[in-house]
Amino acid sequence: MTASMDHPRIVKLIGVSWDSLSDLWVVLELMNGGDLRTLLNKYERLQRPAGFDHKKATIALQVCHALTYLHSLMPPVIHRDLKSRNILLNRAMDAKVTDFGISRERLDQTMTAGVGTSLWMAPEVMLGERYDVKADMFSFGVVLSELDNHTLPYTQAKQRSHDNYGRPMTDASLLQKITTGDVRVEFSGSSPPSVVELG
């Protein structure tokens, strides 16, 4: 699917090579700044202040441009696995979206296969219900919370919540609370209200 995409915010396919059907290599554009999750881990380690600065807002806007492109194709392409690890950066800190391994063209109005990484998934995807491009927008809201706080999604909720025995919330319990809307991603107090509404 990557071969058919041409947008400055999508990692470009350079070519393919093979020795046999079992030895296939895909060569993609070099993004030597690493992935967004690695950068945010560094920010957290260095205790960089939470909130949106110009660079983080630019990264968010660049990801938004990639999603706008995907969703404007005919038929629209739903990424289905948007997360900070699938946002790559170059040395200038420009962001591009990658990993279209589970992306699909939306051939009917909605899709139902439960794919993607759980903490970034929209509730309807987790529940195996029909979904559309809005599922990518939910994932984008989760990425915005990561950009703001530098932490993995729902970290604050897991740290505050314990079961009846005083144990931390399990991943299964967290996912259930996400699907029911009892838990949402969190933003710092310095985040613009319009960004918080997306989360």
Please pick, among 81, 99, 136, 148, the residue that the annotation labels catalytic: 81
Q: Retrieve residue 56's tokens.
A: 């983080």
Q: Is 81 a catalytic residue?
A: yes
Handedness of CA 142, 147, 150, 156 (dihedral sign): negative
- Contact at 8 Å (CB) between 185 and 145? yes
- Angle, in degrees to the nearest 10, between helices 134-149 and 36-45: 30
Rg (CA), the chain: 18
- Contact at 8 Å (CB) between 153 and 117? no
Question: Residue 110: what are its φ and ψ, rounded to 5°?
Answer: -150, 170
Question: Residue 27: what are its φ and ψ, rounded to 5°?
Answer: -105, 120
Which residues are the active-site residues? Answer: 81
